[in-house]
Structures are given as structure tokens and as C-alpha cells.
């Protein structure tokens, strides 16, 4: 084995190590493609390949880092554009309009007051779905809106109906729920306006 062929073999070994993050089948596909390119280039060389031949072949391929980066980027793009991604993005865009914050918060307020009754559960799920699908709120804001608001408003309503909450936990949580609703409508409306300016 000449020094040139040793360099080409080391190149493939280095590339294999850099592609460790890929699935075995994907890694093998990239390595096979590189090997085929090297073999085809060597077949055009009369006799034993020299340093100049190795330099030319390696320059055509690019460094192992460049090849690995391109392969990993291609895999990431394929995963990101997988089945359902476009649909989910369209849904998120639909729930990014200025109508979403007032609609969601008003729905949470009205339906949340009666969320202790089974008849309100289905409408509540629809409002919570809009909250979760929208890109107008952070993950923490969504969690607070989906838990504190319905729970706090329901306890507040039960307090006024039964009057059995001696510790006033219901009204206290109701105040917190209203505060969360105000945060949701203010921040959501601000982000919706920013998104609309970005699209125009």
C-alpha cells in the first residue's frame, strides 16, 4: 500500500468516525458513496497513485469534516420535513393570528368557570388545543394556562355555589387564574402583532 492509498484509507476512517451520529444504514450509504468516488478516480490513474493523485481526489471530496457536516445537515433536513411537519406548521400559523389571544383567554374564562361539570370538558379541550398549538406563548405560559386557569376558576365557582371553602382557596386561586389570563392575553397579543409585522 502506497502512501497515497494510506492517506485515502485514513480519510475514510476519519469520515466514519465523524459520521458516528448517523444511523448505521445512513452512515454506510455515505461511506459507500465516498468509496465509489475514490475507486472510480483511482481507476483513471495509470499505475500506482501518487501524492498528486491523492491530493486531487481528496480536494474533489472536500475535508472529512465538510462531508460529515453536509451528510448530517441533509439528515436533519429530512427529519424536519418528515410526514406531518408541514401540517403542524400550517396549524401553528393558523393559530398565530391576532384573534387567537382574546378568543383563547375568553374561552378559558367562560368555560373554566364551569369546568367542574362534564358538559364543559369537550369545549375546554378545544380551547386548550388552540392554546397548545399556537406559537404565541411559551411552554411555561401554556402549562399555566392549561392547569391554573381552569382549576382556579372552577374552585372559585364552586366556592360561590356552595360557600364551603373556609380557607378561601377557591377565590385565591381564582385571582391567580385571572392574573394568568391577563398575562396570556397581553403577551399573546404582543407576539401576534410582531408576527403580523414580520409577515408584511
Summarize pLDDT for 99-145 with one digit per residue, the tens: 999 999 999 999 999 998 999 999 999 999 999 888 888 889 999 99
Q: Are residues 75 and 120 in the same domain?
A: no
Q: Is the pLDDT of residue 89 over 70?
A: no
Most confident of 66-70, 145-149, 171-175: 145-149
Using an 8 Å Cβ cutoff, are 108 and 145 in contact?
yes
Q: Are residues 91 and 50 in the same domain?
A: no
Query: What pTM, to 2 d.p., does this model score?
Result: 0.53
Q: Are residues 98 and 166 in the same domain?
A: yes
Q: Are residues 73 and 129 in the same domain?
A: no
Where among 36, 58, 81 does a domain terminate?
81
Domain assignment of residue 42, given as a range = 3-81
Top pLDDT among 112 and 90 is at 112
**Which of 179, 120, 119, 122 has the alpha carbon at shortest distance from 149?**
179
Where among 81, 105, 122 does a domain terminate?
81
Helix locations, the chain, DSSP H: 3-18, 24-43, 51-61, 64-80, 85-94, 100-113, 121-133, 139-162, 169-199
Torsion of CA 69, 71, 77, 80, to 10 degrees: -100
Q: Are residues 69 and 143 in the same domain?
A: no
The span from the CA of 31 to the CA of 68, in Å, is: 10
| Arithmetic mean of pLDDT over the chain | 83
Task: Average the pLDDT over each of 53-57, 143-147, 193-197 and give the range with the smallest value.
Answer: 193-197
Number of domains in the chain: 2
Query: How sure is the predictor about 77, in pLDDT bands with cuts at 50, 70 and 90?
Result: low
The span from the CA of 38 to the CA of 67, in Å, is: 14
Query: How sure is the predictor about 24, in pLDDT bands with cuts at 50, 70 and 90?
Result: confident
- Map residue 20 onto helix, strand or coil: coil
The span from the CA of 48 to the CA of 34, in Å, is: 20
Q: Are residues 116 and 139 in the same domain?
A: yes
Quote the cell numbers at residue 108: 378559558
Q: What is the pLDDT of residue 62?
A: 86
Query: How sure is the predictor about 25, in pLDDT bands with cuts at 50, 70 and 90?
Result: confident
The span from the CA of 151 to the CA of 142, in Å, is: 14
Where among 81, 116, 139 does a domain terminate?
81
Amino acid at each position: 500500500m502506497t502512501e497515497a492509498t494510506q492517506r485515502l484509507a485514513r480519510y475514510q476512517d476519519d469520515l466514519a468516525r465523524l459520521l458516528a451520529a448517523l444511523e448505521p444504514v445512513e452512515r454506510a450509504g455515505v461511506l459507500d458513496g465516498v468509496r465509489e468516488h475514490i475507486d472510480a478516480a483511482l481507476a483513471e490513474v495509470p499505475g500506482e497513485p501518487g501524492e498528486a493523485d491523492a491530493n486531487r481526489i481528496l480536494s474533489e471530496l472536500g475535508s472529512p469534516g465538510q462531508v460529515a457536516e453536509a451528510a448530517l445537515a441533509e439528515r436533519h433536513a429530512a427529519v424536519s420535513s418528515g410526514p406531518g411537519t408541514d401540517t403542524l406548521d400550517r396549524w401553528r400559523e393558523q393559530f398565530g393570528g391576532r384573534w387567537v389571544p382574546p378568543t383563547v383567554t375568553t374561552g378559558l374564562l367562560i368555560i373554566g368557570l364551569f369546568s367542574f361539570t362534564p358538559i364543559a370538558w369537550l369545549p375546554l379541550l378545544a380551547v386548550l388545543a388552540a392554546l397548545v398549538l399556537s406559537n404565541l406563548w411559551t411552554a411555561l405560559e401554556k402549562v399555566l394556562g392549561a392547569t391554573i386557569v381552569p382549576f382556579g376558576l372552577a374552585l372559585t365557582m364552586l366556592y360561590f355555589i356552595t360557600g364551603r371553602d373556609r380557607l378561601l382557596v377557591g377565590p385565591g386561586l381564582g385571582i391567580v387564574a385571572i392574573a394568568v389570563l391577563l398575562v396570556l392575553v397581553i403577551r399573546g397579543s404582543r407576539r401576534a402583532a410582531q408576527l403580523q409585522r414580520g409577515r408584511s
